[in-house]
Amino acid sequence: MTLTSPSGGDLAARAPEATLHRRKGRWIDDWRPEYEQFWAETGAPIARRNLLWSIFAEHLGFSVWLIWSVSSAFLVAQGFTFTPQQLFFLIAIPNLVGALIRVPYTLAVGKFGGRNWTMISAALLLIPTLSFAYAVTRPDTPYAVFCVIAATAGFGGGNFASSMANINFFYPARLKGAALGLNAAGGNLGVAIIQFFLPVIVGGAGIFGLVKASEGGIHLEWAAFVYAALAVVAVLAAWFRMDNLSNAKTDTRQQLSVLKHKYTWVMSFLYIGTFGSFIGYSAAMPLLIKLNFWRQPVPAVHGIGINFAFYAFLGALVGSVARPLGGYLADRFGGGRITLMAFGGMVLGTLGILVTLGMLEPLPPAPDKATLAKIAADPAAFQFPDAVRAAVEANSDVFPLFLGIFLFVFACTGIGNGSTYKIIPAIFRTDAERATAADTPERELALLDGTKKSSAAVGIIGAVGAIGGFLIPITFGSPWVTDPLAATKAAFIVFTCFYVVCTLVTWAVFLRKPSVVKAQAERGYAGLGL
């Protein structure tokens, strides 16, 4: 039987070449990064260029995905009167859509090419940004319309899966961890960046109070226009600077075959606990701070307590920075051990948060629309009730402890993200090596097939994991609990129990008995992925 590469030719007969075979549409044939001469002379610069613009596009996608996490807390300042449950649902919708579309986004790389799909996915970001800019300038926009617009922000969540699947093909096995780690961290930082700069862009206070609120009020549409312009830049950058790989072409049935692999589902479950927590907490944190530590009925009234705009970005920043650390630790000590430690830390952290929540004073609900209108008509005459002022001041004293423990939880989610995702390519690489002999054409084809499967698994695992980003805000806004503080306490009890289950699963699958992943660690393959 003659073995052929995806681009044609007798694989056994051909020697590795340092030159490229290019076709129209920036397609590259016969991409073979495992050969040192090809990689050193030709492959590395091309891979780095594609990685750079992939990071930019993914970073932009994450920012648009989480644009509602901060903007929802500013909606009242623009004349909208939504309940806490409505606001939590509004920030949860993009996470659900972003999770659901990650699988088709992953499959699209094998169907259309990485460069082509980067252009399409970046162009799709114009829908949530421009529609957002239109709706927030009209106080009569119905809540249902906001829900639809928030759903389109989920397009940005799909960018992660397609970006990771694409970059996975460009790098040799020994460098996949670093490349995918940079790609993921750059994307995750988009959450922190949007939460850091959006308050400043729209005219709200920010950067720990160093930037004061604009006297002209809040203009959420400004942030949308900025990111719409960046989406156009991402399309042009992909057109001129990125490439498609023929080796990445595959059929949907081949990609979906990873659904039969039991470790796909184990990793998916654990990724709900790590990445799902990261994205869910990132989305909910600004609103959690506002509801429990800050009071400002209208912008013309000086607020009291802790301004959510000063600190909302810190969680996402810590989680993003910790992600490469999790991958590095998984390289050194094994993915199972580091994942177990991450979940153990999350159990302790959420218990600590429950302690701080027990120290808080419940704040009264926000005024209704009629009361807000009276306050806005004569803000100088408004005075905070003594009970409200006392509760806010008491809660402000607890805030440093609450924030510190919450940031510890974010760090654990980031480390867990790195340690779980990093071993995905290693699982399929180990399968390929066990099924073939070394230094044979069969081994090379098996490794290429393993790369395709791991790229598909990245998307599926990421999709399942991202569902946690929907469930967490929904749990915080539980409609059956009218008091926001009581709902927050109930939510963290649920999360703590879930992390205990994740800890037990990690121990049982990775550490209690021999497994594929444990064998990888012993043979030095753990951590080849993100």
Helix, strand, coil abundance in the chain, percent, nearest 5: 75, 5, 25
3-class secondary structure per residue, 201-216:
HCCCCECCCCECCCCC
pLDDT beyond 60 at 67: yes
* pLDDT the model gives residue 20: 65
Which of 269, 272, 292, 506 lies closest to 406, judged by CA?
292
- Count other C-beta atoms under 10 Å from residue 40's C-beta: 11
Q: Give helix 441-476 / helix 84-100 axis angle, nearest 10°.
A: 170
Dihedral sign, CA of 353, 355, 360, 365?
Answer: positive
* CA within 13 Å, CB half, 261: 24
The residue length of the chain stands at: 530
Q: What is the pLDDT of residues 14-27, one digit of tens each?
A: 445 555 667 777 88
More confident residue, 222 or 525: 222
Name the amino acid, one letter, at 66. Answer: L
Q: What is the CATH number of domain 46-367+386-523?
A: 1.20.1250.20
Q: What is the pLDDT of residues 261-316, one digit of tens each?
A: 788 888 899 999 998 999 899 888 888 888 889 887 777 677 788 888 788 889 98
Distance of CA 233 to the CA centre of its chain: 21
The answer to whether 357 and 363 have CB atoms below 8 angstroms apart is no
Highest mean pLDDT pick, 306-315, 353-362, 454-463, 505-514: 353-362
Kindly give the pairing relationship between strand 294-295 and strand 244-245.
unpaired
Residues 6+ apart with CB under 8 A from 167: 50, 51, 54, 114, 179, 180, 183
Summarize the confidence of residues 43-71 as an average pLDDT: 91
Which of 351, 57, 62, 333 lies closest to 191, judged by CA?
62
Q: CA–CA separation, 303 vs 384, rounded Å?
A: 10
Q: What is the pLDDT of residues 88-98, one digit of tens each?
A: 888 889 989 99
Q: CA–CA separation, 421 vs 165, rounded Å?
A: 12
* pLDDT the model gives residue 2: 36
- Count other C-beta atoms under 10 Å from residue 390's C-beta: 12
* pLDDT the model gives residue 261: 79
Name the amino acid, one letter, at 4. Answer: T
**Among residues of the chain, what percentage have pLDDT more than 70?**
86
Q: CA–CA separation, 428 vs 529, rounded Å?
A: 10
Beta partners for residue 295, in sequence order: 304
- What's the Rg (C-alpha) of the chain? 24
The answer to pTM > 0.85 is no
Burial of 467 (0-12, 13-18, 19+ CB in 10 A): buried
pLDDT beyond 80 at 466: yes
Q: CA–CA separation, 520 vs 525, rounded Å?
A: 5
Q: CA–CA separation, 503 vs 197, rounded Å?
A: 36
Which of 201, 390, 392 lies closest to 303, judged by CA?
392
Tokens of 404: 């510190």
Tokens of 68: 């509602």
Q: What is the pLDDT of residues 405-436, one digit of tens each?
A: 999 999 999 999 888 877 777 777 777 778 78
* pLDDT the model gives residue 354: 96
Name the amino acid, one letter, at 45. Answer: P
* pLDDT the model gives residue 232: 97
Beta partners for residue 27, in sequence order: 23, 244
* pLDDT the model gives residue 64: 93
Dihedral sign, CA of 68, 73, 76, 79?
Answer: negative
Highest mean pLDDT pick, 172-181, 381-390, 452-461: 381-390
